[in-house]
Structure 1
Amino acid sequence: MNHGGNIYRFAQYLGCLPEQVVDFSANINPEQAVDLDCLQKVQFEPYADPDYGLLKQALKVRYPQPVDVDIEVFNGASAAIFALLRWLQPRDLVLYTPLYGEYAQIAGHLGCTLHNINRFDSLAMAVPKNSTVIFVNPSTPDGQLYDMRALLTQWQAADCTIIVDESFLDFCVADSVVRHSTQYDNLYVIKSLSKFYGCAGIRIGFILAAAQAIKALKRFEPAWKLSSFDMAYMQQALANAAFIEQTRQQTAHRRDLLGQALQASNLFVRIYPGQANFLLAKLANDGNGYQLQERLAASRLLIRVCDSFVGLDKSHVRFAVKDENAIAQLASCLSDIPL
């Protein structure tokens, strides 16, 4: 189980139903902002608005942006990542690792020259002139929230194209770097809605950038990337303003409970202090995360082993923040595992 979120394969392996799996591998909010009853009147004819007018209006209310910054929506953040890199066609691509593998995979398909910078050890390392840099904030899989000002200054001085992935920023009280777009045209901000709004099956992500850049990017995009139902769902979710602070407080509380459960097990030599909706931990004595995964599988608990992240190995495992009952179940199972 190299990738998080594949509960179907895991359930098949266990011989159970997917809904019987407690999925700590996928960092999706266990709460939702929308009562599905309010979507009963969604119209499936005529075609959906190809300009996504109402959805974009809701996004602009939820995510204020400077004048001359625009939005393009996509069928999930992964689709946004692919479309942006395919359009930019970068020659030199700088990845601040560890981070998830989609960026490196797409770069490989596009023939980019990859430059990996380990942000744990070499955050201030110089980057190639005119390169494209990708930074995830808060980071994954460790959840560290970075102050971006010095990095933005460094990248601008090197005339870089800057991509900042803020898919988990909603879980934090922090400002988006999009406000810097008015001073730097080559800044692109990617956001995912599925993580924070607990709707992995509703595939909506978007890019914020200078209006002229968005206009150029849109020329290569098809119409009707999103369904009427997806858009109606997300418009309702974005309108639930109370859900934002509720989720942040709830996530912080549950993240503390999760950290306490991991600490109490004495199985880990380090628990990284994340600010998102997951925690990264390193097993003591360079333990094997796949063995821990196998032990937890007996209780239908699925975790993420992080050896697919550049710079990490199979002793690193990630736990998503779930509800109190799931965390209590995990704590009980961990306490039964011998040191």
Structure 2
Amino acid sequence: MNEFNLNKIIRPNIQKLKAYSSARDEFKGEAEVYLDANENPYGTLNRYPDPQQIKIKELLSEIKSVDKNQIFIGNGSDEIIDLAFRIFCEPGKDKALTFIPSYGMYSVSAAINDVSLIELPLTEDFQIDINSLETYLGDENLKLIFICSPNNPTGNCFEDKVIQYILRKFKGIVIIDEAYIDFSTKESYISLLSNYPNLIISQTFSKAWGLAGVRVGVAYADSKIIEVYNKVKPPYNISTLNQEVILNKLNNLAQFEIEKNIIIDQKEKLEKQLQEIELVKKIYPSEANFLLIEVSNANEVYNQLVNQKIITRNRSNLVNNCLRITIGSEIENKRLLRALQFIDVASSNVESSF
């Protein structure tokens, strides 16, 4: 175990920060008359939401086998990422690190918070090159390492031995972004929280749970880290409506499993059928709900699909001549396949210049 000291990496002003205490923080429980928060007494959504989302945390605690004090509920995973920069990184001084290609919000959040982001290229098979990382691990200004696994847009998971090596060696915070973990054959790193006090696991309700429009993410970490997150977050960051939607979903796990397994089954079928299409040159292995495919000319294929009102993601700026295809419904996937079969292969043999 490394010599991890949470107090050494939290920004001094955050350590001194006295959190805002809302009316609902000061009173816990049920009452008949609420005259404490300057709310309108009329209406159905006139009361502030639970600032600590206790009911959601209690259900997640049972589902994930994690103490509720180790759970933070965020306004999407993006809030979890942004708060990490604000809690641990001094603007204009500290650094963060990630591996590319990966999720673009790490770079955006770093720029917003005036934090230098080191971007280390993955190997040809999209794995972490531990040798290129080694020289950075001892940098005292390096506070955060972001690891997206399963990775976006490549779809693969990283080697467990490499991730645990980083957790042991690095004295800062390691954030493992598991937005797609529900689709994966790999186990979540939540089970390692007791072994690594510097580990934050980020998950979301936007993917397998089918609630992208609700914008709710979850962080799992040591309770001391969660305390700091709760101190820094806005007091009412998750609305009453969004909390109700999440609770309804968590109380219907059977339907969640059915829908998730349908998506996984559709992915397997789509992958097999894509292999039979001439313009598809390569399909990368995926542990997520999407496939990264290499085609002859990604720009041309993308544009021809757009003309047929089918939208994929052109990721050629990250991986040459590649489209990222989200797994849709059976009807949507069949429409995609029909469209790809009729794209002019001759015109798509031109080298991409994206």
- Give the TM-score range, shorter chain: 0.7 to 0.9
Aligned partner of 1:200 among 204, 212, 216: 212
Q: 2:335 aligns with which of 287, 312, 329?
A: 329
Larger radius of gyration: 2
Shift of residue 222, structure 1, vs aligned partner: 1.4
Amino acid at match of 1:240: N
2:97 is matched with which residue? Answer: 94
TM-score scaled by structure 2?
0.77
Aligned residue among 128, 131, 136 for 2:148: 136
Q: How far apart are the structure 2 equivalents of 1:280 and 1:210?
A: 34
Partner of 2:111: 108
Q: Does 1:297 align with 2:306?
A: yes
Runs of 4+ in 1 over 4 A off after TM superposition: none
Task: Trace 1:179-218 onto structure 2 (pairs within 5 A).
Answer: 179-218=191-230
Q: Which has the higher contact order (CA 8 A, sep 6+)?
A: 1
Unaligned runs of 5+ in 1: 1-41
Match of 1:317 among 318, 323, 330: 323
SS, match of residue 281 in structure 2: strand
User: How many Å apart are 1:89 and its aligned residue?
Assistant: 0.8
Please state how far the C-alpha of 1:179 moved relative to its aligned partner. 2.2
User: What is the Cα deviation at residue 294 of structure 1?
Assistant: 1.6
Q: Per-residue deviation at 1:258?
A: 1.7
| Change in 2 beyond 3 A, CA 1:123/1:43 | farther
Q: Indicate yes or no: 2:80 matched with 1:80.
A: yes
- Preserved CA contact (<8 Å) 1:124 1:151: no
Quick one: which amino acid aligns to residue 343 of structure 2? I
1:175 aligns with 187
- Alpha-carbon distance in structure 1 between the residues aligned to 2:188 and 2:99: 18
What whole-Å deviation, never above 9, does each CA across 1:243-289 have from its counterpart, x for those lacking one? 343234312210122212322221122110101100001113xx1x2
Q: Distance in 1 between matches of 2:174 and 2:292?
A: 26
Equivalent pair of 2:291/2:326 in contact (CA under 8 Å):
yes
For the residue of structure 1 that corresponds to 2:52, the secondary structure is coil
CA change 1:48–1:158 in 2 (3 A) is closer
Q: CA deviation at 1:103?
A: 0.3
**Which residue does 1:33 correspond to in 2?**
none
Q: Deviations over 1:139-159 (max 9, x none)?
A: 111211234243222342232
Partner of 1:54: 55
Maintained 8 Å contact 1:69/1:208? no
8 Å CA contact 2:61, 2:68 repeated in 1: no
Aligned equivalents of 2:299 and 2:84: distance in 1?
Answer: 34
Q: Secondary structure at the match of 2:98?
A: strand
Give me the identity figure in percent. Answer: 21
Instruction: Point out where structure 2 has 5 or more consecutive residues left out of the alignment.
Output: 1-42, 346-354
Aligned equivalents of 2:69 and 2:189: distance in 1? 12
Other-structure match for 1:17: none
State the match for 2:64 in structure 1: 63
Q: In structure 2, which of residues 275, 288, 293 is the aligned counterpart of residue 263 of structure 1?
A: 275
TM-score (norm 1): 0.80
2:129 matched to 1:123? yes
| CA distance, structure 1, for counterparts of residue 44 and residue 274 of structure 2 | 47
CA distance in 2 between counterparts of 1:171 and 1:263 reads 21
CA deviation after TM superposition for structure 1 residue 43, in Å: 4.8
**Structure-2 separation of matches of 1:74 and 1:158:** 25
Kindly provide the amino acid, as one letter, of the partner of residue 99 in structure 2: Y
Contact preservation (8 Å) 1:303, 1:317? yes
Q: CA RMSD in A?
A: 2.0
Q: Does the CA contact (< 8 Å) of 1:69 and 1:181 recur in 2? A: no
Q: Deviations over 1:217-239 (max 9, x none)?
A: 22111111111111111111112
Counterpart of 1:189 in 2: which secondary structure?
Answer: strand
